[in-house]
Amino acid sequence: MVVEVQPSHTAEAGHWGKDVRSDLHVAFEGKDTGGIEVALESRVAPYYGEAMLEQARAVLAELGIKHARVSIHDEGALPFTIGGRIEAAARRAGASLDKRWLPEQHALPAPSLKDRLRRSRLYLPGSEPKYFINAALHEPDAIILDLEDSVHRDEKDAARILVRNALRAVDFGACERMVRINQIPLGLEDLAEVVGESPDLILIPKVERPEQVAEVDRMIGEIKARHGITRPIWIMPILESALGIENAFAIAVATENVAALTIGLEDYTADLGVPKTAEGKESAYARARVVNAARAAGVQAIDSAFTDVDDGDALRRWCEASRAMGFEGIGCIHPGQIRVIHEAFRPSAAEIEKAERIVAAYEDAQSKGLGVVSLGSKMIDAPVVQRALKLVERAKAMGAIS
């Protein structure tokens, strides 16, 4: 007699163990009969055990799964993570490929302005939910939910679900909510998952040609239209190769949704075949080129991420040099770096004072209907006035002027 055995579809997602916090491990076994069975082990079971079982069942119902055995080993994960890990495990098992479970929507922050302050952007590895929840307390100008280099290639699918849930459920305060997708074409799958949750800005890594930006922009536009999203989703291309640098201007003007250009120095120096140094002489040309192209396109130039978290002095020196070159911000990977960055990108008291005097003179000239702005015996050129206006506006946004 031949018995046909249906292979049971099993898969896992997430992590557990002594050093794991705010995450969970889900083992999913799809079945044909028997209904839903959920086993739970958690140190927070006395407080949220019932809630977790209830959530697990709700997630499975939402995913349209009627028969499955799910084993959860929880390490104090929050609901957005629990849902994300169950969904990832189910999808890995081949169940519920077209359905989603979404956590409760936290009120969306105001749409982000194209020219907003972007001094600091804090990278958060997309597969580490424990870093999401308190990131905004450290008040970076932006957080980046990263799906690229900080996420192992086997974890991309689960990370994009987590990032999607975080965009929806986590309070990122006044931070601009950025997502770094993977290189195209993998990045297009990231877009499909996250754009519906209205991130404020998408970082595209390893951009070399304007067409890549245009393609991302087009896809964002399509998804926005499908979801009825009208608020802007800006784009920040990351130039990380010699070719990317050569095409900087074309990339910056590839779409009007590009809000800033940035550079990735690890990959860029690798492409040049030279070591990355603390002084950065090897990348001086590329960085200057990025600043110039960005300014020519009327967008912001943002510097590479600074990854030595223990050397605050080196960070300060780098930021000061970066600001002097024309960059408006820098990436960072630890909350402890944020204050140094903000201090270094803050105009000096003398700069602010001079700019305020120019602005006052400009306003005075405007009120008198004069075409020429003068300060004392000196005539002030229009570009100088423009720079002073921008500096005062930025200083206000930074809280350096009340």
Partner 1 sequence: MSERVDLAHNAVGRQVPTMVNGKPQMPFLGVGKFQPRGRKAAPPILSNKDYPDTGDKLVADLETALRKCGLRDGMVISSHHHLRDGDKVALMALEAAARIGVRDLMWFPSASFPSQQGAIALMEKGVIHHIEGSMNGPIGDYCTQGKMRGLGVLRSHGGRYQAIQDGEVHIDVAVIAAPTADAFGNADGSHGKSACGSLGFALADSTYADRVIVVTDNLVPFPCVPWQIQGNNVDCVVEVDSIGDPAKIVSGTTQITRSPDRLRIAELVAKLLREAGIMKNGFSFQAGAGGIALAFVQYLKQMMKEDGVKARFVRGGSTKYLVEMLQEGLTDYILDGQTFDLDGVKSIASDPRHVATSPFTSYNYHGKGNFASLVDVVVLGATEVDVNFNANVVTHSDGRLLHGIGGWQNCLFAGCSILAVPSFRDRIPVIVDEVTTMTGPGEMIDVVVTERGIAINPRRTDLLHSLMGSKLPIRPIQDIKAEVEKICGGKPARPKLGDRPCAIVKWVDGTVLDTVWQVG
**Rounded CA separation 187/199 (Å):** 15
- Nearest by Cα to 161 from 224, 81, 235: 81
Is residue 168 within 8 Å of residue 102, measured between CB atoms? yes
Does 77 contact partner 1 by CB under 8 A? Answer: yes
Phi then psi for residue 348, to 5 deg, are -70, 165
Give the interface segment with partner 1, choosing from 194-202, 226-234, 333-341, 356-364 (CB under 8 A): 333-341
229 to 195, 204, 220: CA distances (angstroms): 9, 20, 10
**Rounded CA separation 214/201 (Å):** 15
Does 94 contact partner 1 by CB under 8 A? Answer: no
What 3-state class would DSSP assign to 51? helix
- Nearest by Cα to 74 from 108, 106, 46: 46
- Nearest by Cα to 236 from 121, 101, 157, 323: 121
Residue with Cβ nearer partner 1 (36 or 133):
133
Q: Which of residues 229-288 bind partner 1 (CB under 8 A)?
A: none
Residue with tokens 């074309």: 250
Residue with Cβ nearer partner 1 (129 or 232):
129
Is residue 89 within 8 Å of residue 12, measured between CB atoms? yes
Residue with Cβ nearer partner 1 (133 or 250):
133
Q: Which of residues 166-195 bind partner 1 (CB under 8 A)?
A: 171
Min separation Cβ 59 and partner 1, Å? 13
Min separation Cβ 44 and partner 1, Å? 5
Q: Which of residues 48-67 bind partner 1 (CB under 8 A)?
A: 48-51, 55
Which of 30, 196, 205, 335 binds partner 1 (CB under 8 A)? It is: 335
Does 396 contact partner 1 by CB under 8 A? Answer: no
Does 143 contact partner 1 by CB under 8 A? Answer: no
Does 79 contact partner 1 by CB under 8 A? Answer: yes
Residue with Cβ nearer partner 1 (63 or 135):
135
SS3 content of the chain, % helix, strand, coil (to 5): 45, 20, 35
Give the interface segment with partner 1, choosing from 74-82, 195-203, 237-245, 321-329 (CB under 8 A): 74-82
Is residue 176 within 8 Å of residue 112, measured between CB atoms? yes
**Rounded CA separation 55/74 (Å):** 13
Min separation Cβ 146 and partner 1, Å? 17
Give the interface segment with partner 1, choosing from 93-101, 275-283, 332-340, 386-394 (CB under 8 A): 332-340
Is residue 132 within 8 Å of residue 109, measured between CB atoms? no
What tokens does 175 get? 């931070």
What tokens does 242 get? 């010699």
Min separation Cβ 343 and partner 1, Å? 15
Pairing of strands 378-380, 373-375: antiparallel
Which of 38, 59, 78, 302 binds partner 1 (CB under 8 A)? It is: 78
Residue with tokens 């350096």: 400
Does 21 contact partner 1 by CB under 8 A? Answer: yes
Give the interface segment with partner 1, choosing from 33-41, 75-83, 192-200, 217-225 (CB under 8 A): 75-83
Give first-to-last CA distance, the chain, whole Å: 85
Does 137 contact partner 1 by CB under 8 A? Answer: yes
Min separation Cβ 83 and partner 1, Å? 10
Does 44 contact partner 1 by CB under 8 A? Answer: yes
Does 11 contact partner 1 by CB under 8 A? Answer: no
**Contact residues: partner 1, CB under 8 A:** 21-22, 43-44, 46-51, 55, 75-79, 133-134, 137-138, 171, 334-336
